[in-house]
Amino acid sequence: MNPTFKCCSSLYDPVVSPKPIQSLEHTDESTLIIVRHGESMWNEKNLFTGCVDVPLTRRGVEEAIEAGRRISTMPLDIVYTSALVRSQMTAMLTLTQHCCQKVPIIIHKENAEAEIWSQIYSEDTKNQSIPVVKAWQLNERMYGDLQGLNKHETAQVFGKEQVLRWRRTYEVRPPNGESLEMCLQRAVTYFKENIEPQLMAGKHVMVVAHANSLRSIIMYLDNLSPQEVIKLELSTGVPMLYIYKDGKFIRRGSPAGTKEAGVYAYTSNLALYKDQMLLQGNLSK
């Protein structure tokens, strides 16, 4: 059974504010939010990016902030990002908009010393933080010899059909790169071993990653065929919502949505949580 959705205590001062709203009833559902990073500088230049570590554009920053507004009243316990800066920037900017006002803390477990040096020794501070876990397994598909090349110019050299095969077929690898199938193996394995157990335990999770690593995860969540997944398009900076309930993933939002009402179909529990969060925000003013 999932733990209670708890309203964020940082939104009110118990000395000057009215009595806080009671926590929601226990529920057997947890939420999974999936976000492709905002526009990167190489997205803007139409370059094959892959695992090259480039930051967001100004537009990408705005997309991340807008994504944060759209998920601002969603329950959230833990965030997973790739090891690439465009994913981490998007996650951090998104979390600045969340109504719980918790501080995102990147978890460092590269070695024993890093883990010790980044310890937090205040339980109150921990309770007002959201852990952010980096995982290279969520990185974008590695495009090999294509990385840094202009997509349009590459199509002129090798032909549109060949470039399309490299980009949109399931098993074909670009020169010295990964196929979507290879990307899926690492991303979905990580999801099953690390993220799905959090959802099973009732935690509410956000994953911020890349077009191909997220395609891979969505293929698993929606039970898509290789033919279906290669047609899946994910817009930068647009959140997608899933509900995990009774051991199943239920998609409740579309990446094509442009406004909150179009992105999410709220469950009754999420609607109640949202209303309480908004009311608490008003009480704290």
Angle ∠(199,200,205) on CA atoms, nearest 5: 5
**Angle of helix 151-158 versus helix 160-168 axis, rounded to 10:** 120
Measured distance CA(165)–CA(172) in Å, rounded: 7
Measure CA 224 to chain center.
20
pLDDT in tens, 196-220: 999 999 999 999 999 999 999 999 9
Which pLDDT tens digit goes with each residue over 34-58?
999 999 999 999 999 999 999 999 9
Asked if residue 284 has pLDDT above 70, the reply is no
- Answer for the pair 107, 118: CB distance below 8 angstroms, yes or no: yes
- Between 218 and 284, where is the model more confident? 218
Q: What fold is seen in the domain 28-283?
A: Rossmann fold (3.40.50)
Q: Which of 29, 39, 140, 196 is catalytic?
A: 140
**Residue listed under structure tokens 């956000």:** 206
> Residue 98, class by beta-carbon neighbours within 10 Å (0-12 exposed, 13-18 middle, 19+ buried)?
buried
The residue from 29, 37, 178, 210 that is catalytic is 37
37 a catalytic residue: yes
Classify residue 44 by burial, with Cβ atoms within 10 Å: 0-12, 13-18, 19+. Answer: middle
CB–CB of 87/60 below 8 Å?
no
Residue 62: active-site member: no
Round to the nearest angstrom and report the end-to-end CA distance of the chain. 34
Q: What is the DSSP letter of 8?
A: -
- The pLDDT of residue 7: 39
pLDDT in tens, 142-196: 999 999 999 999 999 999 999 999 998 999 999 999 999 999 999 999 999 999 9
- pLDDT at residue 3, as a whole number: 40
pLDDT classification of 231: cutoffs 50, 70, 90:
confident
**What does the radius of gyration of the chain's CA atoms come to, in whole angstroms?**
20
Show me where the domains of the chain are located: 28-283
Q: What is the pLDDT of residue 10?
A: 31
Write out pLDDT tens, residues 79-98. Answer: 999 999 999 999 999 999 99
